[in-house]
Each structure stands twice: as C-alpha cells, then as structure tokens.
Amino acid sequence: MVEKNIKNIDEIILFAIEKISQINKLLLWNIVKTEKISPIQIQFIDYINKMPLEATTVSNLAEEFELKKSTVSDSVNSLINKGYLERIQDHNDKRVFYFKLTEKTKEKLGILNKKNDIFRNIIKNYSFEQKEEVVKFFLDLMNELYEEKIIQPAKMCLTCNNFIKDYNPGDSKPHYCKLINKYVSIDEIKIHCNSYTKKSEGNL
C-alpha cells in the first residue's frame, strides 16, 4: 500500500490558502498606492463591495475590523466626502444607514471584480458535491480559527447561538436553526445573517 504523505498535503493546503489570500492584498495595495486613501479605508471599500447592502452599517464595519464606531464613522465620512461611497438611509428605520460604492469606486475596483469573475468562472465548473466538500472544509476551518480566537466570527450559522450542528446526522439537511425553526443543509448555511446571535464563551 502506498503510504499517504499527510504532512505534505497539509502544507499544500496551507500554501494554497496563503497564496489565494495574497491576491486580494496585492490588488488592494495597488489601489491604495494610486488613490489618496488609507489601507483600512480600502479594506472598508472591499468589504462594502462584497457584502449585501444590509451588512454595510458602521456597527458591522466596526465589529468586522475590531475598531471603535467613531473611528469607522470618521473614515467612512472621509470616503463619502472624497466621492468613494454613498450613504443610503434604511426605508423603515431612519436611524440606520448603509453604504454603497459610487460609480467612480466601482471603476477603480475593476481589476478586483475581474479577479472575482475569473474565480467564479473556475468554481462553476466543479460539481455540487465537490463544492459541498470544500464548503464543509472551509466552514469548519473558520469555526476552529474562531474558537482558537484567531479570527473574529463572521455572522454565520456555525458560530451562531441559534445553530445546532448535526442535529440530524446523515440527513440531507443535518443542521438546525432554533430561531427560524428550520433544518438546514450545507448550501443553506448563512454567512451574513442579520439574525445572528454570537455564542457566549461557555457555549463554544
């Protein structure tokens, strides 16, 4: 029997994750160099570019980047004044504001979005089953990193107090959300859920 080189395959996975994460950093850094904005501001722009509108509040940005709300507000206001962002008021709650990119910013991010399109075109060629395995792997990896306190929790099911993992093992919808009282399959796991409730320390 051929002995499997587990150590090497682990190193290859680590290398691939680091390599892919570098692409974004390099592209973002090139924009920072040509525009008069700070590295954190370009990260806000990148976040707002990727997230649904309802996730783009000052509170969410502060939580995501571990900053004070006042720091985020100053930074975002400066981006609005320079024409990089627009402020959108919530229809139902006039106290809530979201942010979206201006056309000027979308143009500047062209190369970033082109990169995402290239990724999407490659990813769509894989079977659902292959992608499901990859999603399981990355969700578990993010969860472990969260439990080790290496990353902040994304507002996703796996780190949510309402989530019961493997409630129905072996089923096509093995997980369960107590809030919506619904069984959940791996492709239904949410990563930007407005009803997310952070787990308490003892509940990890």
Q: Please name the residues in contact with 39: beta carbons below 8 A apart, sequence gap of 6 or more.
A: 28, 29, 32
Q: Please name the residues in contact with 3: beta carbons below 8 A apart, sequence gap of 6 or more.
A: none
Q: Burial of 102 by CB count in 10 Å (0-12 exposed, 13-18 middle, 19+ buried)? A: middle
193 contributes a contact to ligand SF4 by CB under 6 A: yes
Nearer to ligand SF4, 24 or 162 (CB): 162
192 contributes a contact to ligand SF4 by CB under 6 A: no
Of 137, 179, 187, 204, which lies in the binding site for ligand SF4, with binding defined by CB under 6 A?
179
Residue 58's H or E segment, with its range, is helix 58-65
What ranges make up the beta strands (E) of the chain?
Answer: 85-89, 97-101, 163-164, 175-177, 182-184
Which residues ranging from 31 to 60 are in contact with ligand SF4 (CB under 6 A)? none
Provide, rounded to whole angstroms, the least separation between the CB of residue 157 and ligand SF4. Answer: 3
Which strand ranges, in their side-by-side order, compose the sheet holding 175-177? Answer: 163-164, 175-177, 182-184
Q: Could you tell me how far CA 150 lies from the centroid of its own chain?
A: 15
Q: Could you tell me which stretch among 16-24, 25-33, 84-92, 176-184 binds ligand SF4 (CB under 6 A)?
A: 176-184
174 contributes a contact to ligand SF4 by CB under 6 A: no
Of 162, 167, 183, 199, which lies in the binding site for ligand SF4, with binding defined by CB under 6 A?
162
186 with 132: CB under 8 angstroms? yes
160 contributes a contact to ligand SF4 by CB under 6 A: yes
Provide, rounded to whole angstroms, the least separation between the CB of residue 146 and ligand SF4. Answer: 13
Of 16, 29, 195, 198, which lies in the binding site for ligand SF4, with binding defined by CB under 6 A?
195
157 contributes a contact to ligand SF4 by CB under 6 A: yes
- Would you tell me how many other CB atoms lie within 10 Å of the CB of residue 109? 20
Nearer to ligand SF4, 43 or 60 (CB): 60
Number of residues binding to ligand SF4, judged by CB under 6 A: 11
Binding footprint of ligand SF4 on the chain (CB under 6 A): 157, 160, 162-163, 177, 179-180, 190, 193, 195-196
